Amino acid sequence: MSGSVSGLEGVWRDVLIMARREFGDKAVEQWLGQVSLVGLSQDLATLVAPTRFLADWIERNFGQALVRMLGHAEPEVRRIQVVVQDRVLRAPIRLPEPAMVAPSAPAVPAPLPETDRVLNSAPLDPRFTFDSFVVGKPNELAHAAARRVADCPDASFNPVFLHGGVGLGKTHLMHAIASHLQATRPGVKVLYLSAEQFMYRFIQALRFRDTLSFKEEFRSVDVLMVDDVQFIAGKDSTQEEFFHTFNALIDQKKQIVISGDSSPDRIEGIEERIRSRLQWGLVVDIHPADYELRLGILHSKAERIMATHPEIVLDPKVLEMLAHRINSNVRVLEGALTRLVAFASLVGRRIDLDMAMECLADLLRAAERKVTIDEIKRRVADHYNLRLSDLVSARRARAVARPRQVAMYLAKTLTSKSLPEIGRGFGGRDHTTVIHAVKKIESLRESDGQLSEDVELLRRMLEG
């Protein structure tokens, strides 16, 4: 059986080709494209998925087909398992044999000893450190808050609540805090887990009538970190328990760090009292990466890749093109780079602009499904209860002028239109007016919470 890197990648590529034929491009992009094959061992193929939801979905809906398709390449395969990248929950897992694990595939953390699994943190991704985190304007506050907690978890800001859209680095920062604390303060008990894992442990405790030790465990930590808190929305008894754990720790001045996909007041389905607790401390958001940060991240990743793969040659123009064209989130950006590198090493070609465009055609097209100026105007007008014509009119009243600036700002940041094109889209305004609007909104985003939330909400609606 082929266990080498290119072996696994090759097998998976063939499966994806078959899957495209059978299920269509859409299904492959949406589901299977997010998964990779990390192990083949006897009759078992191991895939890794980024979330439990995806893992379950794939197992349920594509399981049989995948076994069949994998069987074309590897006749011994009879079963698949889809593991979650961050899968402390999935009790006994047969991990692929080490030799079969593709080093370039997403890391499958080594299995923890049974006792650790019960008592300790979810596994930390060793790649998610402060060293590998690139800081730019959109994330500097979140980074500073994370550093502060990592250097000095004295609960002077409690809780620290990090929020932002998917793939912007929340989990990365949380892991960085936890790893740093583990390395520098071995005596400090750090518990990092996702809200999903919190719930799972709580339910297990209920099932085994062991809530007492659950409570003891959680209340004995010095630093509690809960990732993706929005997951507990709507789950009443988990919320109840979370609330009590939270209060107990705050009372003891223990540091708490929480992440969520939006600000506390916008997470739906959580109790008021939890919402207000989450707002007690320091709430910081991570904004979507701007061009500079995207480029910085790409440079940093590319350097790391080239340091370990001297045969890979990446044209800097390619990085600029990616930073320019892919603006959804950092995870997608990384995925693009990974795919390029895999492709380059398979076909042994230098990564230049043409090759990149060809290899990433589908991604670039998807990124292209971009927001139009018209859509932006429509959304902004709706949001502020204005008429579309107000946005292109010459009126200068604040009630109209501000939303117009917001719309121009969104046009500049969400589309690849030039300043003069944007000016034309807003009643033939001069490009300097657009620059002024962009600067104005940028600075207001720092000082005006309401406006900053409006902009963020609009951006999400437009991009989603």
Residues of the shown chain interacting with ligand ADP in the complex, contacts defined by CB under 6 A: 128, 132-134, 139, 164, 166-172, 297, 330-331, 334
- The residues near 389 (Cβ < 8 Å, ≥ 6 apart) are none
Q: Residue 12 is encoded by which pair of tokens?
A: 């998976």
Contact 174, 225 (CB under 8 A): yes
* Alpha-carbon separation of residue 197 from 81, 316, 362 (angstroms): 20, 41, 34
172: partner contacted, choices ligand ADP, Mg ion, none (Cβ within 5-8 A by kind): ligand ADP
Q: What are phi and psi of 7, to 5 degrees?
A: -60, -55
CA dist., res. 403 & res. 35, Å (int):
41
Q: How far is the CB of 324 from Mg ion (least distance, A)?
A: 25
CA dist., res. 434 & res. 423, Å (int):
6
Q: How far is the CB of 128 from ligand ADP (least distance, A)?
A: 6
393: partner contacted, choices ligand ADP, Mg ion, none (Cβ within 5-8 A by kind): none
139: partner contacted, choices ligand ADP, Mg ion, none (Cβ within 5-8 A by kind): ligand ADP
Q: How far is the CB of 194 from Mg ion (least distance, A)?
A: 8
297: partner contacted, choices ligand ADP, Mg ion, none (Cβ within 5-8 A by kind): ligand ADP
Residue with Cβ nearer ligand ADP (170 or 429):
170
Residue with Cβ nearer ligand ADP (134 or 150):
134
411: partner contacted, choices ligand ADP, Mg ion, none (Cβ within 5-8 A by kind): none
Residue with Cβ nearer Mg ion (155 or 195):
195
Residue nearest to ligand ADP (CB): 169
Residue with Cβ nearer Mg ion (170 or 412):
170
Q: How far is the CB of 336 from ligand ADP (least distance, A)?
A: 12
Residue with Cβ nearer ligand ADP (20 or 331):
331
**Chain contacts with Mg ion (rule: CB under 5 A):** 170-171
Which residue has tokens 């405790």? 205
Q: How far is the CB of 237 from ligand ADP (least distance, A)?
A: 26
CA dist., res. 280 & res. 288, Å (int):
24
- The residues near 296 (Cβ < 8 Å, ≥ 6 apart) are 134, 136
- The residues near 111 (Cβ < 8 Å, ≥ 6 apart) are 93, 95
Q: How far is the CB of 307 from ligand ADP (least distance, A)?
A: 16
- Overall residue count recorded for the chain in this entry: 464
Contact 350, 344 (CB under 8 A): yes
Contact 221, 254 (CB under 8 A): yes
Residue with Cβ nearer Mg ion (171 or 230):
171
